[in-house]
Structure 1
Amino acid sequence: MRKLSAITLALGAALFAGAAYAQSIECGSDTLCNVKASGVIKIGTKDDYKPWSYRASDGSFKGMEVDIGNKIAEALGVKAEFVKVTSANRFEFLAQGQIDLMIASASDTAERRKVVAFIHPNYYSSGYTALLPAAVTATEWTQLSGQTLCAVQGAWYNKPAQETFGVNVLAFAGSAETEAAMEQGRCVGLLEDDNKINVRLTDPKWAAYKAPLSVEAVTPWGMAVRQADQFAPLGYFVAGMVAEMHRDGSLLALEEANGIKNSAFLLKMHEALKDHVK
């Protein structure tokens, strides 16, 4: 009986593998078809960018971007499998096919569109500024010229901040490393998204810090797919989902659910796309 059960299981596994292979042949390079066939969409997101995407104490992914990914998977009728990416490797992971969709606080820029395809409409927005200890007296960017700010590797604003304001950027793999370096005195403050800094400043841990400088280069965030998927079923589906979440206020609700004050960008997009009663 044990041998028979083993044979039955092996045959079942072989039939399943064969069916999956046949389906992949039928789908070809159609990513949405392959996602539906496998029952899983692989979504790249960060695990250190609270409250947008981070690891909970049980090891699972949490945050606003994770909630968005789960909504997209639910609408597709598949399971969301979240894959850790970083600012430095997220575009490579997508281009190489390790993920199907990227939702990882990525600013939508012309340079990045040469590598991946950003979904429009954009789903979020931010600029950059600096988090500084209260003891630092600078109130203008020019006063930081020649000083060092810690930042995350691959952040789009690292180069503009250096070129525009003459600051030195000391880059690390993630947020935890930047914080540790600042505490060690290796930099005068953190160079980050203004959204991230605003959330930090609501935490008593950062009571001795401030963000006195102007917010620069406000840029939208985009979900991204491979370039071949931009004008293909997956790209069109995700674009429709983002537009609908702006229209029905889902993105605003997800901000609130994750302890984020409703952003000017999402309020503006909801107002533009919501149903207007005449």
Structure 2
Amino acid sequence: MAMSVFRIALAAAGLALGAAAASAEVLDTIKQRGTLIVGSKADYKPFGFRDPSGAIVGIEPDLAADLAKRLGVKLEIVPVVSANRIEFLNQGKIDVIIATLSDTAERRKVVQAIDPPYYSDFVNVLLAKKANVKSWEDLKGKPVCATSGAWYNRDVARNYGVEIVAFDGSEKPLFALKQGNCLGYLYDQTFIQGRLLDDEWKGDFAMPLKGIMEAPWMIAVAKNNPKLQAEIEAVQKEWFKAGTVVALEKKWGIEPTEYSTKMFEKSKGAATN
């Protein structure tokens, strides 16, 4: 009996070590496969969206393409939404999340963050101009569309008395907003800026409120992947030094954020000292 227990314990330990080793070798798997698989949004202009041909393009696919190039492999983009991107990562369906992933303590418990965060954004709301909303307090008791899985939905509901009506992805809540089923769409400020670049939105809709609840965005890999983590962190440092994110913001038509500008200036200054 003692020997059986010992063998079971030994086998369990071996499985645990094997799982850890397999996880830690994801970078090797990527290079052997010859392809980096990145989860990116496909409904979040200008960070990740489909062009007329159906290809996923935008700021984050551009970052993913540069990362793959530096790793010496091809790139495969897998479309994800807020509700499934971490699940896809931990199931091994993708190698990396570059998909507007806000950096929270809860998420750091289940994924490995790439530090420092590569971006930072505010929460805001896309509103019909005729709604005549002038403050967040004006939204109390009003139905506001939102995306399922967004970390701030509960806090906004609690702090401002908003009635959250959640949908998967971003296209469904936008459709509901156009149909008049809600007063506005609660989402990331940069996404709203991207939508207001389009003729179909900028005529009747606006973003009149000041952004709230600034939150950094992180790139993430699965836990126990130190080699992949180190590679991406090194690449990210190069992005900061080169002002890559600032350049991509301008390329895709949005104003560079205070955070991306600050990280560029800070890294550029450090490089010249």
* Shorter-chain TM band: 0.7 to 0.9
Q: What is the letter of the counterpart of residue 31 of structure 2?
A: K
> 1:259 is matched with which residue?
253
Whether 1:28 aligns to 2:22 is: yes
- Report the secondary structure of 2:224's partner residue: helix
- Report the secondary structure of 1:267's partner residue: helix
Q: What is the letter of the counterpart of residue 104 of structure 1?
A: A
Partners of 1:240 and 1:159 lie apart in 2 by 35
> 1:96 is matched with which residue?
91
| Contact 1:122 1:242 (C-alpha < 8 Å) held by counterparts | no
Partners of 1:112 and 1:46 lie apart in 2 by 18
Partners of 1:58 and 1:271 lie apart in 2 by 36
Whether 1:210 aligns to 2:240 is: no
Give 1:257 shift: 1.8
Partners of 2:198 and 2:49 lie apart in 1 by 16
Give 1:73 shift: 0.3
Deviations 1:28-47 (A, max 9, x none): 33110111111111101111
Partners of 2:168 and 2:80 lie apart in 1 by 11
Partners of 1:49 and 1:241 lie apart in 2 by 24
Partners of 1:277 and 1:113 lie apart in 2 by 33
The equivalences for 1:1-278 within 5 A come to 28-29=22-23, 30-206=25-201, 207-229=203-225, 232-275=226-269, 277=272
Q: What is the letter of the counterpart of residue 266 of structure 1?
A: S
Partners of 1:61 and 1:131 lie apart in 2 by 23
Partners of 2:98 and 2:272 lie apart in 1 by 33
Stretch moving more, 49-58 or 232-241:
49-58
- Report the secondary structure of 1:143's partner residue: helix
| Contact 1:53 1:62 (C-alpha < 8 Å) held by counterparts | yes
Q: What is the letter of the counterpart of residue 117 of structure 2?
A: N
Deviations 1:68-107 (A, max 9, x none): 0000000000011111111000010011111110000010
Q: What is the letter of the counterpart of residue 209 of structure 2?
A: L
- Report the secondary structure of 1:274's partner residue: helix
Partners of 1:100 and 1:114 lie apart in 2 by 17
Partners of 2:97 and 2:190 lie apart in 1 by 19
> 1:10 is matched with which residue?
none
Q: Give TM-score, length-normalised by structure 1.
A: 0.86
- Report the secondary structure of 2:158's partner residue: helix
- Report the secondary structure of 2:116's partner residue: coil
How many residue pairs were aligned?
Answer: 252
Runs of 4+ in 1 over 6 A off after TM superposition: none
> 1:12 is matched with which residue?
none
Q: What is the letter of the counterpart of residue 72 of structure 1?
A: L
User: Unaligned regions of 5+ residues in structure 1, if any?
Assistant: 1-24
| Contact 2:45 2:195 (C-alpha < 8 Å) held by counterparts | no
Q: Equivalent pairs: percent with the same residue? A: 39
Give 1:121 shift: 1.5
1:246–1:115 Cα change, 3 Å: same
Q: Give TM-score, length-normalised by structure 2.
A: 0.88
Give 1:277 shift: 4.1
Give 1:234 shift: 0.2
Q: What is the letter of the counterpart of residue 214 of structure 1?
A: K
Deviations 1:203-230 (A, max 9, x none): 332222122222111001000001112x
Stretch moving more, 132-141 or 203-212:
203-212
Partners of 2:26 and 2:188 lie apart in 1 by 32
Q: What is the letter of the counterpart of residue 176 of structure 2?
A: A
Q: What is the letter of the counterpart of residue 206 of structure 2?
A: K
Give 1:162 shift: 0.7
Partners of 2:51 and 2:138 lie apart in 1 by 38
